[in-house]
Amino acid sequence: MNPIGVFDSGVGGLTVLRALRAAYPSNDFIYLGDTARLPYGTKSPATVMRYSLQCASLLVRRGIRCLVVACNTASASALQELRLAHPSVPVIGVIDPGAEAAVAASRSQHIAVIATEGTIAGGAYQAAIRRLNSAARVTAGACSLFVALAEEGWVDGEIPQAVARRYLAPIFSGTDMPDTLVLGCTHFPVLARSIAAVLPRGVKIVDSAATTAAALLRQVAPAAAGRGRVRWLATDDAARFARVGTSFLGETLHAADIEIVDLIAA
């Protein structure tokens, strides 16, 4: 059975791949990290769309049967264009599954979303949540420094908790605060413990990685048996991809297993 393709601007999408492999242990995957051009979160929508189409084209040529856009910024900027460009390949993003889970989890329908600057400015989560519930209130905040902390492996302790407190205190204050928080960047799940430590009691955290895996299960049949394999692709620096990616994936990556590809020349 052909593999499932997954791409992200770098290693953040490995949190999505980790959830996908847990849900689809018998499937083969191809993961592409566009590490030469990360982060996507600070790029213009037109640039993100161009990069995303290049990533998708390479994976489609590798024979994938489904494409998972494991990047919130790319999902916000390029999902429809990717579907138009590859009509025979199911394309799943991370935003709609996260929005669905948030609406289902929230009792008050006051939902907070934290993500990169590009995702928040584009308003994709806000729009997705309101499509599902027009009465929902969405408080959104850009937390771009979380990406750097996650990439450096600073996910626990005083520093990430202090940063989380600085970002989240204005959102979770007063009597009319959200009761649900969407982690709208694939880097953020590795910081979940530090984020949870500074949230008020009872706030639910929605991880778009886990919800995307559930969405894929609804659309694509799993392979029948066996343990699937992953083929690793990156656009730059296999050693850093392996080192940083290990903490996101939860298992050891090796630079020798990572193929460096040129998306522009491909």
> Which tens digits make up the pLDDT trace of 147-187?
989 988 899 999 999 999 999 999 998 889 999 999 999 99
Using a cut of 0.75, tell me whether the model's pTM lies above it.
Answer: yes
Domains present along the chain, CATH in parentheses: 4-93+211-260 (3.40.50.1860), 95-208 (3.40.50.1860)
Tell me the CA distances in angstroms from 72 to 13, 123, 187, 248, one per residue in order.
Answer: 9, 11, 10, 16
Residue 91 pLDDT greater than 70, yes or no: yes
Residues 118-144, buried b or exposed e (16+ Cβ, 10 A)? bbbebebbbebbbeebeebbbbbebbb
By the 8 A CB rule, do 178 and 110 touch? yes
> Which tens digits make up the pLDDT trace of 97-116?
999 999 999 999 999 999 98
**Average pLDDT over every residue of 107-128:** 93
Residue 46 pLDDT greater than 80, yes or no: yes
Residues 74, 61: Cα–Cα separation, whole Å:
20
Residue at 112: amino acid letter: A
Residue 69 pLDDT greater than 80, yes or no: yes
Residue 226 pLDDT greater than 80, yes or no: no
Residue at 138: amino acid letter: V
> Which tens digits make up the pLDDT trace of 141-152?
999 899 989 988
Q: Which residue in 205, 187, 194 sits closest to 247, CA to CA?
A: 187
> Which tens digits make up the pLDDT trace of 207-220?
988 889 888 878 77
Q: Which residue in 224, 238, 248 sits closest to 19, CA to CA?
A: 248
DSSP codes, the chain: -PPEEEEESSSTTHHHHHHHHHH-TT--EEEEE-TTS--STTS-HHHHHHHHHHHHHHHHHTT-SEEEE--HHHHHHHHHHHHHH-TTS-EE-SHHHHHHHHHHH-SS-EEEEEE-HHHHHHTHHHHHHHHH-TT-EEEEEE-THHHHHHHHT--SSHHHHHHHHHHHTTTS-SSS--SEEEE-STTGGGGHHHHHHHSPTT-EEEEHHHHHHHHHHHHSPPPSSS---EEEEESS-HHHHHHHHHHHHTS---GGGEEE--TTT-
**pLDDT of 64:** 96
List, by residue number, the catalytic residues: 71, 185
Residue at 253: amino acid letter: L
**Which has the higher per-residue pLDDT, 38 or 245?**
245
By the 8 A CB rule, do 263 and 54 touch? yes
Name the token pair of 181.
């928080």
**Average pLDDT over every residue of 53-73:** 96
Split at pLDDT 50, 70, 90, the class of 119 is confident
**pLDDT of 224:** 64
CB atoms within 10 A of CB 239: 11
> Mean of the per-residue pLDDT values for the chain?
93
